[in-house]
Amino acid sequence: MDILVLGGDGYLGWPTALYLSRRGHRVGVVDNFARRGYDLEMGVDSLVPIVNLQQRVRRWHEISDLAIDVFVGDLTDASFVSETLASFKPEAVVHFAEQRSAPYSMIDRKHAVYTQVNNVAGTLNLLYAIAEQNRDIHLVKLGTMGEYGTPNIDIEEGYIEITHRGRTDVLPYPKQPGSFYHLSKVHDSANIMFACRIWGIRATDLNQGIVYGHQTEETVLHPDLATRFDYDGVFGTVLNRFCVQAVTGHPLTVYGAGGQTRGMLNILDTLACVELALHHPADPGEFRVFNQFTESFSVQEMAELVVAEYSGDAVIEHSQDPRVEKEDHYYRAAHTKLLDLGLNPHLLTSSVIQSMLAVTDKYKAAVDLAAIRPTVEWRSTASGLATSGSAGGSAGTSGGTEVDPLASVN
Ligand code: NAD
Ligand code: USQ
């Protein structure tokens, strides 16, 4: 298959590109290096060193004799999107290329506007390019379980049958997202569903849970193939953060009561799920939704699992939740569609946590302890980060590219 991976320089996009390339697909990656720009803006870095995209691709070619095409540009630039599709001619597009941090989107108005314009406009440009050039292209779009929020009823996969005043219909499942980032995914889903309806496009929305882990069969082949690993208070996700906190002797930062329950999955299952979606495309005009996670845990449970596995002393610290979210709630979400297609989950076993602790331990000298505490407060319209000047939108350079994520926001 000819597959374009958008966001192919990111945490999940890069290992996905390698995985698909190794399995015989012709792969192209698209990225504007915005993610590297957020690091410069925040003054943080991936714990595991990462080389630039061109070096990664060269190393992959050297090791595997397989080529990956690189397209550097911004999805919010419609001509770039259109020209890239016309040049690569994909049969499928896997779309990871969005600003994906909930705290980043809640820093202040500028970051909220940036996140929604970047994500929603980028996806709209892509939908138009597909509709204009080849409506048969299968769009595999990364959504999020956070689109649903935490309702007091079971969460279904995308749609729910509702009977209202004696009449019944199958409707999109109600959405109650918890950040302007998560809202951008809801807006994307609505736009993609509409595009499928009016233009007959085929799309799969992968409502993914929180990903943990770092290594894949391909990324371990050479240090230059490593993917990024974030642990800071803005981009680090919960389980990855807890592992770094344990090995550095930092208390494990459980926000609030810790009853927040989330769907989780191993990075290896992200790759497997994307492949399954690609091999079983949606029908023309179909907007298909899969809930992409394998297990659910509360934040407190995850902290306790890490404490139990860590050989040294690790302590859990509850602090006031900087987010506005339910700290104790019902959570039961369907996730059978990918299992039905053949997903064989990698569960959160003791050995998986041990391997994450080993990776973080290897690089612990590079941890910036000052970057660990949460700095973004949901209730404030201008969080400490922005007013302290460290997140004011200053430009930097990354791999020779000028990067200022917020340059386009008034
Ligand atoms: P990431 O930030 O590491 O990667 C995203 C990549 O997209 C970055 O390399 C970035 O530079 C690029 N990008 C962003 N905006 C772009 C634009 N306008 N044009 C071109 N490139 C652009 O994020 P990730 O963790 O790899 O997540 C990938 C996708 O998966 C995101 O859409 C995210 O919402 C979704 N997701 C991630 C997780 C997780 O736990 N990491 C969980 C659920 C869903
Ligand atoms: N949390 C803590 N302590 C921490 C970090 C987080 O208690 O140190 C809590 C948060 O308050 C939240 C939960 O852990 O309740 C998850 O937070 P997170 O930062 O790990 O994940 P989230 O903000 O939801 O975002 C991540 C990805 C995002 C993706 C989403 C999937 O960054 O791209 O969409 O996971 S989901 O959660 O299913 O929406």
Q: What backbone phi and psi angles, to 5 degrees, belong to 153?
A: -130, 170
pLDDT digits (tens, 9 = 90+) for 211-259: 999 999 999 999 999 999 999 999 999 999 999 999 999 999 999 999 9
User: Is residue 176 assigned to a domain?
Assistant: yes
- Radius of gyration from C-alpha coordinates of the chain: 20
Question: What per-residue confidence (pLDDT) applies to 404?
Answer: 75
Question: Residue 156 sits in a domain of what CATH number?
Answer: 3.40.50.720
Cα–Cα distance measured from residue 127 to residue 121, given in angstroms and rounded to the nearest whole number: 10
User: Is residue 402 assigned to a domain?
Assistant: no
Cα–Cα distance measured from residue 365 to residue 13, given in angstroms and rounded to the nearest whole number: 27
Question: What per-residue confidence (pLDDT) applies to 410?
Answer: 79
Ligand nearest to the CA of 106: 2
- Indicate which atom in ligand 2 lies nearest the CA of residue 144: 34
Non-local (6+) Cβ contacts of 205 within 8 A are: 141, 143, 158, 189, 192, 287, 288, 289, 290
pLDDT digits (tens, 9 = 90+) for 271-306: 999 999 999 999 999 999 999 999 999 999 999 999
Once rounded to an integer, what is the mean pLDDT over residues 322-348? 98
Cα–Cα distance measured from residue 384 to residue 227, given in angstroms and rounded to the nearest whole number: 29
Q: Which residue lies with its CA nearest to atom 12 of ligand 2?
A: 260
3-state secondary structure the chain: CEEEEECCCCCCHHHHHHHHHHCCCEEEEEECCHHHHHHHHHCCCCCCCCCCHHHHHHHHHHHHCCCEEEEECCCCCHHHHHHHHHHHCCCEEEECCCCCCHHHHCCEHHHHHHHHHHHHHHHHHHHHHHHHHCCCCEEEEEEEHHHCCCCCCCECCCEEEEEECCEEEEEECCCCCCCHHHHHHHHHHHHHHHHHHHHCCEEEEEEECEEECCCCCCHHHCHHHCCCCCCCCCCCCHHHHHHHHHHHCCCEEEECCCECEEEEEEHHHHHHHHHHHHHCCCCCCCEEEEEECCEEEEHHHHHHHHHHHCCCCCCEEEECCCCCCCCECCCCECCCHHHHCCCCCCCCCHHHHHHHHHHHHHCHHHCCHHHCCCCCCCCCCECHHHHCCCCCCCCEEECCEEECCCCCCC
* Residues noted as catalytic: 144, 181, 185
pTM, two decimal places = 0.96
Cα–Cα distance measured from residue 20 to residue 5, given in angstroms and rounded to the nearest whole number: 10
Any ligand 2 atom below 6 A from CB of 142: no
Question: What per-residue confidence (pLDDT) applies to 28?
Answer: 98
Exposed, middle or buried, 121 (CB in 10 Å: 0-12/13-18/19+)? middle
How many angstroms is it from 325 CA to the middle of ligand 2? 11
pLDDT digits (tens, 9 = 90+) for 342-374: 999 999 999 999 999 999 999 999 999 999 999
User: Is residue 108 assigned to a domain?
Assistant: yes
How many angstroms is it from 2 CA to the middle of ligand 2? 33
Any ligand 1 atom below 6 A from CB of 115: no
User: Is residue 217 assigned to a domain?
Assistant: yes
- Say how many CA atoms lie within 13 Å of 142 toward its Cβ: 28
User: Is residue 398 assigned to a domain?
Assistant: no
Using N-to-C axis directions, what is the helix angle for 267-279 and 13-22, rounded to 10°? 60
- Indicate which atom in ligand 1 lies nearest the CA of residue 228: 3
Any ligand 1 atom below 6 A from CB of 71: no
Count of the separate structural domains present in the chain: 1
Residue 77: pLDDT band by 50, 70, 90 thresholds?
A: very high
Cβ atoms within 10 Å, residue 40: 18
User: Is residue 389 assigned to a domain?
Assistant: no
Question: What per-residue confidence (pLDDT) applies to 398?
Answer: 46
Type of residue at 274 = V
Question: What per-residue confidence (pLDDT) applies to 387?
Answer: 39
Evaluate whether 203 touches 192 at the Cβ level (below 8 Å). yes
pLDDT over threshold 80, residue 189? yes
How many angstroms is it from 378 CA to the middle of ligand 2? 13
Q: Which of 241, 234, 251 is nearest to 367 (CA)?
A: 241
Question: What per-residue confidence (pLDDT) applies to 403?
Answer: 61
Evaluate whether 75 touches 4 at the Cβ level (below 8 Å). no
Any ligand 2 atom below 6 A from CB of 383: no
How many angstroms is it from 263 CA to the middle of ligand 2? 10
Q: Which of 218, 266, 277 is nearest to 94 (CA)?
A: 277
Mutate to test the pocket of ligand 2, among 148, 299, 323, 331 (most ligand atoms within 8 A of CB): 299
Q: What backbone phi and psi angles, to 5 degrees, belong to 157?
A: -90, 85
Residue 388: pLDDT band by 50, 70, 90 thresholds?
A: very low
User: Is residue 137 assigned to a domain?
Assistant: yes
Any ligand 1 atom below 6 A from CB of 269: no
Provide the domain limits for residue 208.
2-372
User: Is residue 405 assigned to a domain?
Assistant: no
Question: What per-residue confidence (pLDDT) applies to 171?
Answer: 98
